Structure 1
Amino acid sequence: MQASRTSYDVVIVGGAVVGSSTAYFLATNPDFTGSVLVIEKDWTYQRCATALSSSSIRHQFSNAINVKVSQFGTEFIRNFKENVAVDEDTPEIGFHENGYLFLAGDERGAEVLRRNHETQVACGADVSLLDPEKLAKRFPWLNVDGLTLGSTGERGEGWFDSVGLMQGFRKKARSLGVEYIEDELVAVNRRGDQVVSVTTKGGQTIGCGTMVNTSGTNGRHVARMAGLDIPVEPRRRSLFVVDCRTPLEGRVGLTIDPTGVFFRPEGKFYLMGTYPKHDPEVDPNDFEVMHEEFEEEIWPTLANRVPAFEAIKVVNSWAGHYDYCTLDHNVILGPHTEVKNFLFANGFSGHGLQQSPAMGRGLSELITYGGFRTVDLSPFGYERVAANRPFLEDAVI
């Protein structure tokens, strides 16, 4: 597929949820009047992180900026149909606002929840701390043995249709003049400290005023095409959908055991997994499911935490990837310190889907105004990478 022009004001490399959010916010910003091209190598999106994620959003972070970023994400999702409406076929994305439930198994973990709770409440998040007695009363399906504290989101947290969000961004952006092509980047062409063009596998060399790297687990590869580097690597995560003989009664949120193993409802089933703490860097094209992780860690842990899960059967499974920032588990966002028209949006470490509305808006502000106008996202900038100065996020699942 060929681009219709030889040059664009903005070229976005990667058309999944973060790239399409950036395109959407540029297209809907009345102060931006430039041309935008999105290059996506696979329009089926079957193996993008967006489609293979756990499709959730939370306000329970340790870092105040991450709380504010996801609060905007919730606001956008709640008003999704109005935000992306093109015609009567605008999809529902089914926001299940059941909250997250973080559990602590010792006093150290409880102190982390208390500290994070102070940050979250200061940002206006509706989050409650529950001692074991309150946990048992509110969640009768939960085994509270060994727990010291729980933290649950009362509003604004839950799960939704991840592909629906991405397609909503994409459809609206295209309706407003953003051009998408299905092709793969093979070169980023620089002249000194400027990116001047990109070359695709299809044989086109396309000029660009600004390039945005939203290519997920290929983000470091794309950066290296420009002679740049970032501390981001693909980490595999396997997810399992199970049928439970005895359905859980009452409210069931996305529940995170102190070990990091988690589950949430998925229709009449349950989705289970753990964060990629064991797996080293992997080939971004490796989608082999780690079934041994389910048998040896996920099932035993959750059968102890939720007695009903002693009798479950796996009905589906898949593997996806985090673009994992090894510096501090936070996204690298904004321009390179020397190559100013190369913008990063890489290293989301599992938060990209829920952060996509705010990050797309922030990138559009950088491109249009030269700085952030809503939430100040500058602490996520590349400068911290150059200085080896982590901007930590502790609550990674």
Structure 2
Amino acid sequence: MTKPTPRRRSDDQTADKQTLAQSMEIARTGTVPERCTLAARSDVPPELLFFLAEDADPAVRRVVAANINTPRQADDFLAQDDDEAVRCAVAEKIGVLAPDVIDERRGPQRLLTINMLEALALDAAVKVRARLAESIKDVDSAPPEVITGVIEVLARDAAIEVAGPVLEHSSLLSDDFLVDVINEPSHTGSVSAISRRQGVSSKVTDAIATSGDDAAIAVLLGNESAQIREETLDRLIESAPPKPSWHAPLVSRPKLAGRQIGKLSEFVANALVEQLSKRSDLDPETSKHLQTVMAQRLEEGGGQSQGGGLSEDDLAQAVASGRRAKVISSLAVRTGYKEPIVHSILNSGSAKAVTALSWKAGLSMGFAEQLQQRLAYIADRDMLRGQRGSYPLSEEDMLWQLGMFDGGQSA
């Protein structure tokens, strides 16, 4: 059997030259799809990628920008491209290189990468900055210059689609930095993004708890990995009655003391009291207390007085003592509304709507004023006052107010 004649080295070099010549010809005169296919190859020589980085068609430049083998100098050039999608491709690729920057042996190469990251973090296009943020959010190590000049810059971005992923996921942001952002958020979503972080420290949760951002606090309470100190949780529970978005996540917190569960049972809806009663960490005393609360609510809901609810005097006492759940349950019976509707009216901040609710329940204007002040938390200057003890709104106006909440049934 005749053995194949081995190729000589000079033959390999000739073939390589022919291949390079063919590739260069494609780069110069090939169709856009042909040039894109060439730009995506992993074995394209650096000089050819440099050439394609200046291609007239942005589709080709985008492929070059996405190629992991493109020389860093070409990436730097493409990071300044007029085409937003080209810069997005560079941002997506270069973000994953951040951990390797510290190991760059060549100083100029390292500096070039850092400068490129900093430029992309300040790019005029939100999409470019957002793509970089998504790319870099899970990086767990980076040089100090990259943390301060790139990651922290992205975290303070005015666009939530840029700052959000970094604030929520980056492990390179210190607690002190996060507290600064909470105290001076760039936008309303900043604190909520921090609240979603895995294992939020107690230092950060304390800052969130005092931020005044109710939506972010609701997110924090729903984050089971968040470390919330017992004293902080106590304060939040005390502030929770007029904030229904906090109720369900508070009831679902993994660790609650018996006294905290007892406090929650005073104002959360019946369904949430039932949920509390099913917790696996209840001590016998707390479990018995919840059963008593549920029984009382059932009894009050069935009431024997006017309209099926408590009498006005009983209701006034319940309002005065802040027994929100009891009042809501009784008003629901009196008005025929479901509890969530009563809840929504009381939390609307509308003096007219709360007044109309009292009227619908067959109660006096004096009670309506107490309800506005004590359970609807309406400021004195915004309260609706009675006219010689009578309701200051027409029946038509009150029906219209209620129709905003009951789907127009009253109207």
State if a TM-score over 0.5 links the two structures: no
Higher alpha-carbon Rg:
2
TM-score, length of structure 2 as denominator length: 0.21
Bigger proportion of residues as strand: 1
Bigger proportion of residues as helix: 2
